[in-house]
Amino acid sequence: HDAAYYARSPQDDPQGPDAGRVKVRRGGSWHTWPLYARCAYRNWNTPVTRYTLVGIRLVMEAD
């Protein structure tokens, strides 16, 4: 954790620190408690960690 990072990070598309072993994960899934499903909820994972219930879900209405 670097409390001063946001003060010196780029305003557009910040990539995060160059070093570190974990990444921030925002939100949860339909299978978690409502608190975790909020987009403002933050947690962490290693970049190689995969969960079947966490990820991006895209929806398109059929015509």
| Cα radius of gyration rounded to whole Å, the chain | 15
Instruction: Select the more confidently predicted residue: 60 or 27.
Output: 60
Give the span between the Cα atoms of 59 and 53, in whole angstroms.
16
Per-residue pLDDT tens digits for 4-54 = 887 888 888 877 777 888 888 887 777 778 888 787 888 888 888 888 777
Q: Where are the domains of the chain?
A: 14-45
DSSP state letters, 29-44: -TTS-HHHHSTT-EEE
Which amino acid is residue 11, in one-letter code?
Q
The whole-model pTM stands at 0.49
pLDDT at 10: 85
> Could you report how far apart the first and last alpha carbons of the chain are, in Å?
46
- Strand partners of residue 45: 23
